[in-house]
Amino acid sequence: EVQLVESGGGLVQPGGSLRLSCAASGFALNSYDMNWVRQAPGKGLEWVSYISSSGTMIYYGDSVKGRFTISRDSAKNSLYLQMNSLRAEDTAVYYCARGGSWNYGYWGQGALVTVSS
Amino acid sequence: DIQMTQSPSFLSASVGDRVTITCRASQGISDYLAWYQQKPGKAPEPLIYAASTLQSGVPSRFSGSGSGTEFTLTISSLQPEDSATYYCQQLNSYRATFGGGTKVEIK
């Protein structure tokens, strides 16, 4: 059974850093494209970042480019999102999602990140 | 980035009604269009991919159509469990953008 479980969310002050993890089971992470998607409270879905199955293609949304870094560890079968220089507007539930060309077929349960002083 | 515009943003309909949601892309995306259903406090669940292909396990009352820049999601006979927010997503680019969402309420 495919499962994605996010962790690492929490409360952080503006300007701070946080690293989210997404532990995958039921499949090999390095065989699939992976993504981070976020949802601010009461708002819609916003695509954040993409990493290809090969790891050679990485993209970021304009709102996080230069501050966030996507990566993965094949040995741990985990996906990461390093978030630096956090702002209040980064407050959201962050989901990891598997998928590339056709849809995001599997999603984690989400991790809440709150940026506040 | 490709912009996705959904309409309406909210609709209220009765059980058994036929409901249609529209999604427009700012440029042609062929059929690289997916639909999701999201209920409060839950992750989105995939409904349709490739504009019109039903995800396994999704009830047949859901259907999708369109190509290029204009797409529709139709619920042929609205059920109480369909109360949710629906999102379209373009995957023509790996910078995959979402529409703003349509909240469907049961009258």
Tens digits of residue pLDDT in A96-108: 999 978 999 999 9
Q: pLDDT value at position A100?
A: 77
Instruction: List, in order, residues 6 or more apart from B41 with CB less than 8 Å away.
Output: none
Q: Is B46 touching A (CB cutoff 8 A)?
A: yes
d(CA A75, CA A61): 27
CA B100, CA B47: separation in Å to the nearest integer?
Answer: 17
Contacts of B43 in chain A (CB under 8 A): 95, 107-110
Please give the residue of chain A at the shortest CA–CA distance from B44. Answer: A107
Residues A94 and A110: their CA atoms lie apart, in Å, by 5
**Do A44 and B1 lie within an 8 Å CB cutoff?**
no
The B residues from 5 to 34 touching A (CB cutoff 8 Å) are 32, 34
Give the pairing of strands B62-67 and A3-7.
unpaired
Q: What is the mean pLDDT of chain B?
A: 97
B94 to chain A, any CB pair closer than 8 A? The answer is yes
Structure tokens at B22: 């529209």
Other CB atoms within a 10 A radius of the CB of residue A117 amount to 9
Angle at A56 between CA A30 and CA A72, to 5 degrees: 40
Q: State how far the Cα of A96 lies from the Cα of A51, in Å rounded to an integer.
A: 11
Tokens of A58: 């990485």
Q: What is the pLDDT along chain A (117 residues), one digit of tens a residue?
A: 999 999 999 999 999 999 999 999 999 999 999 999 999 999 999 999 999 999 999 999 999 999 999 999 999 999 999 999 999 999 999 999 999 789 999 999 999 999 999
